Structure 1
Amino acid sequence: MSLRTSDDVDYTPGPLDRDATFYVAGHAGMVGSALVRRLHAAGFTDVVGRTSAELDLTDRDAVHAFFETTRPTYVALAAAKVGGILANDTYPVDFLSVNLQIQVNVMDAALATGVQRLVFLGSSCIYPKHAPQPITEDALLTGHLEPTNDAYAIAKIAGILHVQSVRRQHGLPWISAMPTNLYGPNDNFSPTGSHVLPALIRRYHEATRDGATEVTNWGTGTPRRELLHVDDLADAVLHLLEHHDGPQQVNVGTGTDVTIAEIAATVAEVTGYTGTTTWDTTKPDGTPQKLLDVTQLAHTGWTARTSLRDGLAATYTWYLQNADHLRS
């Protein structure tokens, strides 16, 4: 079983109008803020965003009122409830319900107001837990999901189908992009709600600060992860909007991966930690490997530019500069 991969949309990608209104849903988050930075750098003059306090994206009436007033030409749907293994496994209803509400409300309002070009951002967790590596876009719905984040994954799969359905029924050139594991400025560094990389940065930073001689990480350290700096993702999103069209989701990543143990060692180096690292094998590892096949993306002319070492160093610098007001 797979989602639809062909349609009759007649659209030729090209440069976007720099003076048109571009709404970034989730502009204050890690992905959204990176998109805002990239759009401003590219010369967009009317980039719009609303905080969750200003606009609750789960409030259907409020979302439709916002779109009626703002009338964006372009939309990047980067708003989502996100979290690491623990958060996803503990609150699956929240991750399913909230994300479905956000997606349906934003896309329905975008359709009602004639948004020309929309990009929906998902996650590599949409693919089966044991998908052949590297994972091609065709692997979608070919096997069981990773159970610790299946609710979140189902919401994102529904978003892909929503985009495809708009293309089929209304002929609009909306697209979907599925990033690999992301990191960078404005990430969630909280001990219980973060993904593996920001959790490691915080853990090793605090160990270095406190003079600890041992750090214990979850799992075995053997799972492999592909990591993409969020600024590279933002660059890829704009590139896709201007160079790609099609119903199938596009993988966005680096095409290479490393073990979590290797990531931890690099974080230890960047943070100046010189103690030992142990692994609590009673804790879950999650998916054994999630390496995306980025052939389709490469064919559009885009490849990632930020090395993991450089990206981690820059992220740690940002963390130090913003530690006083990060989520606890």
Structure 2
Amino acid sequence: MAETVIMVTGGSGLVGHGIQLALEEDKKPNEKWIFLSSKDADLRDREATKLLFEKYNPTHVIHLAAVIKALSNNMEDNCKLLRVNCQINDVVLDLCKEYKVQKVVSCLSTCIFPDKITYPIDETLIYNGSPHSSNYGYSFAKRMVDVMNHVYNDQYGCHFTSVIPCNIFGPHDNFSLTEGNVMPGLIHKAYLAKRDDQPFVICGTGKPLRQFIYSVDLGRLIIWVLREYPEIKPIILAADEKDEISIRDATELVIKAFGYKGKIVHDVSKSDGQFRKTASIAKLRKYLPDFKFTPTKQAIEETVDWFRKNYETAKK
């Protein structure tokens, strides 16, 4: 059987590590996986990136690499984030065409969906309006990946597709209190509250609802998309809608995992943000009706355990 060589751009981040953890239980003998980081090449540089294709000769590519910043910086750097991400995507996808890569799976974001939209969102609604103005540069760059997938397929027959994950968390996340997402931020706050014997402060009321996906589950699903998913159109990867939980409930699971017994304070001077961002996974369930997601409680406990053990070196 011919060897399948899978090159993963941005492979040193949260999702790349999720794929690596998933492969520990599901690696095929004919597959060779190569996880790249920003140290391997500047993906905006076509010649430097071309050397990677010549070195590894990938048959498949999972494209995770992107430049993203905290919300405040997104608002200040919309132009830069649009240009840099479009450059990366243009170089990577065009070289995949040039080197006759059999399949590419790119990772998008739910930020590509319109700001004004009905819930639950699904894959048919991407172009029904503009993304939120706060990060439209990054959002439109990600949307363009879907456009590129279709034009490369139409003109050259390339099998380029993409996934749209919801709120991801897990080992190797960005646990920054200012730049991280909801779950890693809660985990870092709880760690500090217990260590310093301080109150745990929740921004807002804790009532907003969020759909989370454990990075290892996302890794399993991306591997399935690479091996089996037949469409060019993107697919949402998220936990079931029934497993959507409030920020308050997520906080309770985090503090129980830490054994924190201190005071919880709601800082209602801070905005709750969007109340819900529910995504439909009807399309995913059509393909994988029996896929079992890791229970949220277990996933949080495993992430907390990893953060405790790796606090000094974790991204924060």
TM-score of the two chains, using structure 1 as the length reference: 0.88
Displacement of 1:140 in angstroms is 0.9
Q: Which residue of 1 aligns with 2:255?
A: 268
Alignment equivalent of 1:25, drawn from 9, 22, 43: 9
Distance of 1:150 and 1:270 partners within structure 2 = 36
Corresponding residue for residue 201 of structure 2: 216
Deviation for aligned residue 1:304? 4.3
**Alpha-carbon shift at residue 250 of structure 1 (Å):** 0.4
Moved more, 101-110 or 22-31: 101-110
Could you tell me which residue of structure 2 aligns to residue 307 of structure 1? 295
Task: Report the Cα distance in structure 1 between the residues aligned to 2:87 and 2:266, rounded to whole angstroms.
Answer: 38
Return the letter of the residue paired with 2:313.
Answer: H
> Any conservation in 2 of the 1:251–1:292 contact (CA below 8 Å)?
yes
Matched, 1:72 2:58: yes
Residue 301 of structure 1 and its aligned partner are, at CA, apart by 1.6
Deviation, structure 1 residue 145: 2.2
Give the secondary structure class of the aligned counterpart of 1:110: helix
The verdict on how the C-alpha distance between 1:190 and 1:248 changes in structure 2, with shifts beyond 3 A counting, is: same
* Cα offset, 1:222, TM superposition: 2.6
Q: CA 1:265 to 1:150, structure 2 compared with 1: closer, same or farther past 3 Å?
A: farther
Structure 1 residues 236, 91: CA separation in 2 closer, same or farther (over 3 Å shift)? same
- Cα distance in 1, alignment partners of residues 78 and 145 from structure 2: 17
Whole-angstrom CA distance in 1 between matches of 2:146 and 2:11 = 20
- Deviations along 1:18-55, whole A, 9 cap, x unmatched? 82211011111110122234346322542112221221
Q: Distance in 2 between matches of 1:261 and 1:298?
A: 28
1:129 maps to which of 101, 115, 140:
115
- The aligned amino acid for 2:62 is A
Separation in structure 2 between the aligned mates of residue 42 and residue 123 of structure 1, nearest angstrom? 26
> Aligned to 2:20, which of 36, 39, 45?
36
Partner of 1:292: 279
Of residues 127, 145, 154, the one that matches 2:131 is 145
Query: 2: CA distance between counterparts of 1:82 and 1:304?
Result: 30
CA contact (8 A) 2:119 2:278 kept: yes
Q: Please tell me whether residue 156 in structure 1 is matched to residue 146 in structure 2.
A: no
Deviation at 1:156, TM superposition (A): 1.0
Map of 1:214-293 to 2, 5 A cutoff?
214-256=199-241, 257-293=244-280
Tell me how far 1:87 sits from its aligned partner. 4.5
Q: Indicate if the aligned counterparts of 2:9 and 2:63 stay in contact, CA closer than 8 A.
A: yes
Any conservation in 1 of the 2:210–2:246 contact (CA below 8 Å)? yes
Unaligned runs of 5+ in 2: none
Aligned residues: 311
How far apart, in 2, do the equivalents of 1:201 and 1:325 lie? 15
SS in 2 for 1:323: coil
Unpaired runs of at least 5, structure 1: 1-16
Distance 2:69 2:208 in 1: 18
| TM-score, scaled to structure 2 | 0.91
Q: Distance in 2 between matches of 1:112 and 1:169?
A: 13
Q: 2-side partners of 1:119 and 1:88: how far apart? A: 25
User: Using the alignment, how far apart are the partners of 1:289 and 1:304 within structure 2?
Assistant: 23
- Taking the aligned partners of 1:279 and 1:130, their CA distance within structure 2 comes to 28
Aligned to 1:3: none
Sequence identity of aligned pairs in percent? 27
Structure 1 position 90, deviation (Å): 4.7
Whole-Å Cα distance in 2 between the matches of residues 149 and 271 of structure 1?
Answer: 34
Q: Give the secondary-structure state (helix, strand or coil) at the position aligned to 2:33.
A: strand
